[in-house]
Amino acid sequence: MHVLITGGAGFIGSHLAEAYLQRGAWVSIIDDLSTGSVRNVNHLKANRRFTYVIDDVCNRRVTAELVDMADVVFHLAAAVGVKLIVERPVHTITTNLEGTEVVLDQAAKKSKKVIVASTSEVYGKTTVFPFNEDHDLVMGSTARARWAYACSKAMDEFMALAYHREKGLPTVIARLFNTVGPRQTGRYGMVIPTFVSQALQNKPITVYGDGKQQRCFGHVDDVVKCLIALAEHPGAVGKVINIGSQHEISILELAKTVKDLTQSGSEIVFVPYEEAYAAGFEDMMRRVPDTTRLADLVGFVPETKVDKIIRDVMAEQQNDPRHSLDW
Ligand code: UDP
């Protein structure tokens, strides 16, 4: 078994690579290190079943060669993080559209199964809870950069489904909800590594808006198990599948929990959205996955509680002081 992971030096990709190596598979990764880091895979380099290529997935020749060697491809390379998306919209749109097209095109030539990582962002502003894979997607105005990310990932989904329908390529679309755990950096705005880092340094914990917005946080270990199980399940082919936890927490409650668990003296401060991101920024107040399809297919869903996730992130940051530089 040989697995190719695009974006394999990223947060989720590196955990996935590690899980497959533990299962005895051969793993290749390709990553341009735009948001990924060699630090995430340094511990894997000694494994003779692991190879890594530092390059852009849009480099057709390199991607073609890697796809050729693989039995299955996980396409995780993408521009991620709300902060990055707002600050670099051109990069976001081109990376997400072109990268996915290259991967699907090369995979179609060799009939290799592709698991495409999508995002709960595609649900946009929908207010029908929980979010079901067959729901309509409710996008915001093109004048607001955030929606470029949602639309580019929605196009990736259309493309993956089109390759399946038209060219018979086995594709699976995993819509990932907020995924967190060790190795996630706060540099691109993700809330849990940011709060933990702030709390450990006794700096103010920055709650954006009024903190009433709610999220469901899934542990990366659970999410990786789901990705592997979906890749192995023939019933997942041609489908969109939510992967996420159903445990909801408000961002203010999250800040308080981080403060308690780290026994930090940090104060919790409220930062207006326009200061945190850009004028006119729109946040989602609530986001909950319907995990029925996932449970039906693989028999389990991400269940790890947020306390345990925070403790794991804390343990990592306490062991590696470089994390304090991350935000
Ligand atoms: N957030 C926050 N403070 C921060 C970073 C993020 O209050 O320092 C909020 C953000 O506005 C959002 C939630 O936390 O409502 C989750 O943000 P994240 O970027 O982790 O994921 P998103 O759900 O926005 O994709």
pLDDT digits (tens, 9 = 90+) for 97-135: 999 999 999 999 999 999 999 999 999 999 999 999 999
Any ligand 1 atom below 6 A from CB of 206: yes
Which of 246, 251, 276, 4 lies closest to 115, judged by CA? 4
pLDDT over threshold 80, residue 211: yes
b/e burial code for range 80-118 (CB count within 10 A of at least 16 → b):
bbbbbbbebbeebbebbbebbbbbbbbbbeeebbbbbbb
pLDDT over threshold 60, residue 324: no
Any ligand 1 atom below 6 A from CB of 268: no
Q: Which two tokens stand for residue 17?
A: 């690579």
Any ligand 1 atom below 6 A from CB of 283: yes
* CA separation for the pair 9, 59 (Å, rounded): 17
* CA separation for the pair 98, 193 (Å, rounded): 29
* CA separation for the pair 31, 78 (Å, rounded): 10
* CA separation for the pair 70, 30 (Å, rounded): 12
Phi, psi dihedral angles at 175 (to 5 degrees):
-90, 105
300: CA distance to ligand 1 center in Å? Answer: 26
pLDDT at 322: 64
60: CA distance to ligand 1 center in Å? Answer: 34
Ligand 1 atom nearest to CA at 81 = 19
Q: With the C-alpha atoms ordered 78, 81, 86, 87, is the resulting torsion angle positive or negative?
A: negative
27: CA distance to ligand 1 center in Å? Answer: 32
Among 52, 149, 188, 208, the active-site one is 149
Return the residue whose CA atom lies nearest to atom 17 of ligand 1: 191
Q: Is the pTM of this model over 0.85?
A: yes
pLDDT over threshold 50, residue 228: yes
191: CA distance to ligand 1 center in Å? Answer: 5
What is the 8-class DSSP label of residue 138?
Answer: B
- Dihedral-angle region of residue 283 (phi above 0 means left; psi in -120 to 50 means alpha; beta otherwise): beta
Contact between 88 and 255 (Cβ < 8 Å)? no
Instruction: Provide the CA 165 distance to its chain's centre, in angstroms.
Output: 25
In this structure, which amino acid lies at residue 217?
F
Return the residue whose CA atom lies nearest to atom 5 of ligand 1: 191
pLDDT at 327: 38
Any ligand 1 atom below 6 A from CB of 253: no
Which of 153, 22, 21 lies closest to 75, judged by CA? 153
Return the residue whose CA atom lies nearest to atom 6 of ligand 1: 191
- Provide mean pLDDT across the span 150-171: 97
Ligand 1 atom nearest to CA at 273 = 11
**More confident: 145 or 314:** 314
Concerning whether 52 is annotated as a catalytic residue, the answer is no
Any ligand 1 atom below 6 A from CB of 208: yes
pLDDT over threshold 90, residue 188: no
- Provide mean pLDDT across the span 247-269: 98
Domains for the chain: give ranges and CATH numbers: 2-182+218-245+288-303 (3.40.50.720)
Kindly give the residue spans of alpha helices, DSSP state H, lying in the chain: 11-22, 60-69, 82-87, 89-110, 146-167, 191-200, 220-232, 251-262, 273-276, 292-298, 306-319
Contact between 218 and 294 (Cβ < 8 Å)? no
pLDDT tens profile 81-94: 778 888 888 988 99
